Amino acid sequence: MQMQCLSTLTREYARSLPHHLRSDFTELLLLMHKISPDATFSIQLGMPLFELEQKPLYGITVRSGHLSIYMPETNLLYRFTDRLRPAHIGTDGLFFDCLGDMNINVIAELLSRAKGNFIYRKHKQNRLQ
């Protein structure tokens, strides 16, 4: 991933966020990049989004004053529900007020598992072809 592109796009995006959420947003975005440096980064659907093979892996945005991690793999989210408290699980991700209330290690594990599951499904699909 082009780190300069990540920096430029997120700097512009972060300017539009409430001031008290900017550092949490940046920290989560950098964590996502560290877990998936090979992912393509862009701003789509109104949010920074990481994609592998042109399929969304995860993204981050701010909605109604909450941080929101978009994750299309909702089954994985539900397996982490108890460990992600006080976050709320929605239909396409999780949202919470402040990163300081969360366990960053659990978020990192969740993001890593999402990427691992993606790679596993791709490998399995390739073996069947």
pLDDT tens for each residue of the chain, 129 residues long: 445 555 677 777 888 888 889 999 989 999 999 999 999 988 887 889 999 999 999 999 998 889 999 998 888 999 999 999 999 998 889 999 999 999 999 999 999 999 999 988 887 777 766
| Domain 3-128 in this protein, CATH class | alpha beta
pLDDT at 65: 86
Q: Give me the sign of the Cα torsion angle 91, 47, 16, 36.
A: positive
pLDDT at 1: 41
- Dist CA 72 CA 77 (whole Å): 9
Residue labelled with tokens 């539900």: 78
pLDDT at 52: 93
- Dist CA 100 CA 36 (whole Å): 23
> Within 13 A of 18's CA, how many CA atoms are on the CB side?
12
Domain boundaries, the chain: 3-128
